[in-house]
């Protein structure tokens, strides 16, 4: 477990009485967010496809006195999401915060992306976000209100090598703004957090080689983001501090979008690229 995740930044009762569901919470930004929210007093449901990773996060939260559920499930499967909601309802009777963090893609020039590969990334990011969001609203939030935070990506400018992901994440941003407009009457606040380049892989290996990245001047702070850089913004929006914010997209990127546009594909570690087969 990253030592930085042990740092206390918000008050212990910032999210007291709240119940949060965080997808992709077995590692990286999702794990950091779940731990941060639990430390702030929230009851947290972890959701992901790898039970071993979820349980590791759950053990960390329990050891600090937190209330946590680890639920195996796939964000792309409606029945599994519903089963998770049933378990949350039985355990705690409510859901106040949804963090759609799970997602994924692979690096590839657009000309090499297959139709199947494109569909898979769209489903993994856009469809899954819609499924998670709609079911949270149906089961809990249309009646009681709530906060939804969607973790997207820096899609303000071109991101070569990720045409499929940019299409999906851009769709999530547009969807979030529209839902924020339609669902404000129900007390549902929806925002997006777009991380810049974040070193969040649990084994410490990022697909951009460190030496290459440091020479690229990719952002104005000249360092990769940390998982807790992102979890702090998510927690802020989920708390009462974000009660007058909805339909917004927050770039947490160290000033990356202010810098000259780079091609992410050009920076990818060639060894990893070879392993991916792209």
Q: Is 217 buried (19+), middle (13-18) or exposed (0-12) by CB count in 10 A?
A: exposed
Taking the C-alpha atoms of residue 114 and residue 63, their distance in angstroms, rounded to an integer, is 45
Give, in order, the Cα–Cα distances in Å from 257 to each of 118, 221, 226, 248: 25, 12, 17, 16
The answer to whether position 3 is within a domain reads no
Taking the C-alpha atoms of residue 50 and residue 66, their distance in angstroms, rounded to an integer, is 21
Instruction: Say whether pLDDT at 275 is over 90.
Output: no
- pLDDT value of residue 4: 58
- pLDDT value of residue 18: 98
The per-residue pLDDT for range 81-107, each reduced to its tens digit, is 999 999 999 999 999 999 999 988 878
Domain count, the chain: 1
Taking the C-alpha atoms of residue 36 and residue 171, their distance in angstroms, rounded to an integer, is 28
- pLDDT value of residue 202: 44
Dihedral sign for Cα atoms in the order 165, 235, 71, 5: positive
- pLDDT value of residue 5: 57
The per-residue pLDDT for range 106-137, each reduced to its tens digit, is 788 889 989 999 899 999 999 999 999 999 99
Share of the chain above pLDDT 70, in %: 84
- The order of strands in the sheet holding 188-195 is 68-72, 43-48, 19-23, 97-100, 146-151, 188-195, 249-252
Q: Global pTM?
A: 0.87
The answer to whether position 223 is within a domain reads yes
Give, in order, the Cα–Cα distances in Å from 3 to each of 45, 84, 227: 22, 30, 12
Region 61-83 average pLDDT:
97
Region 63-83 average pLDDT:
97
Taking the C-alpha atoms of residue 248 and residue 183, their distance in angstroms, rounded to an integer, is 14
Instruction: Say whether pLDDT at 1 is over 80.
Output: no
Least confident interval from 92-106, 135-149, 154-168, 175-189: 154-168
The answer to whether position 1 is within a domain reads no
The answer to whether position 22 is within a domain reads yes
Instruction: Say whether pLDDT at 213 is over 80.
Output: no
DSSP-derived pairing of the beta strands 97-100 and 68-72: unpaired
The answer to whether position 77 is within a domain reads yes
Q: How far apart are the first and last CA of the chain?
A: 31
CA 95 to chain centre: 17
Please check whether residue 210 is in contact with residue 268, taking contact to mean a CB–CB distance below 8 angstroms: no
> In this structure, which long-range contacts are made by residues 124-127, counting pairs with CB atoms below 8 Å and at least 24 apart in sequence?
124/75, 124/76, 124/168, 125/165, 125/168, 125/169, 125/171, 125/172, 126/167, 126/168, 126/169, 126/171, 126/172, 126/175, 127/76
What domain range is 266 assigned to? 10-276
Instruction: Say whether pLDDT at 78 is over 50.
Output: yes
- pLDDT value of residue 44: 98
Region 49-56 average pLDDT:
95
Please check whether residue 141 is in contact with residue 70, taking contact to mean a CB–CB distance below 8 angstroms: no
Instruction: Say whether pLDDT at 35 is over 80.
Output: yes
Please check whether residue 23 is in contact with residue 46, taking contact to mean a CB–CB distance below 8 angstroms: no
Instruction: Say whether pLDDT at 276 is over 70.
Output: no
Q: Other CB atoms closer than 10 Å to residue 194's CB: what's the count?
A: 23
The answer to whether position 2 is within a domain reads no
Instruction: Say whether pLDDT at 206 is over 50.
Output: no
Dihedral sign for Cα atoms in the order 239, 245, 250, 255: negative
- pLDDT value of residue 120: 93
- pLDDT value of residue 3: 46
The answer to whether position 204 is within a domain reads yes
- pLDDT value of residue 211: 56
Taking the C-alpha atoms of residue 130 and residue 92, their distance in angstroms, rounded to an integer, is 23
Least confident interval from 18-27, 74-83, 152-161, 174-183: 152-161
The domain that holds 101 is classified in CATH as 3.40.50.720
Share of the chain above pLDDT 90, in %: 68
Q: Other CB atoms closer than 10 Å to residue 273's CB: what's the count?
A: 16
């Amino acid at each position: 477990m990253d030592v930085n995740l042990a740092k206390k930044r918000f008050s212990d009762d910032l999210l007291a009485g709240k119940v949060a569901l965080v997808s992709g919470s077995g590692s990286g930004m999702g794990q950091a967010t779940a731990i941060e929210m639990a430390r702030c007093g929230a009851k947290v449901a972890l959701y992901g496809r790898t039970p071993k990773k979820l349980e590791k996060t759950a053990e960390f939260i329990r050891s600090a006195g937190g209330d946590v559920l680890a639920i195996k499930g796939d964000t792309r499967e409606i029945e599994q999401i519903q089963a998770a909601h049933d378990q949350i309802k039985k355990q705690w009777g409510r859901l106040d915060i949804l963090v759609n963090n799970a997602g994924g893609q692979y690096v590839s020039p657009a000309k090499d992306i297959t139709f199947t590969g494109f569909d898979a990334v769209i489903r993994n990011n856009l469809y899954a976000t819609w499924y998670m969001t709609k079911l949270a609203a149906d089961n809990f939030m249309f009646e009681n209100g709530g906060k939804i935070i969607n973790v997207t990506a820096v899609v303000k400018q071109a991101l070569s090598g990720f045409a499929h992901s940019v299409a999906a994440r851009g769709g999530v941003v547009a969807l979030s703004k529209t839902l924020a407009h339609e669902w404000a009457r129900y007390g549902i606040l929806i925002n997006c957090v777009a991380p810049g380049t974040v070193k969040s892989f649990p084994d410490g290996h990022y697909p951009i080689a460190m030496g290459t990245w440091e020479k690229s001047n990719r952002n104005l702070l000249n360092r990769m983001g940390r998982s807790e850089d992102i979890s702090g913004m998510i927690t802020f929006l989920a708390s009462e501090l974000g009660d007058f914010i909805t339909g917004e997209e927050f770039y947490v990127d160290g000033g990356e979008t202010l810098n000259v546009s780079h091609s992410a594909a050009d920076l990818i570690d060639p060894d990893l690229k070879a392993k991916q087969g792209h």
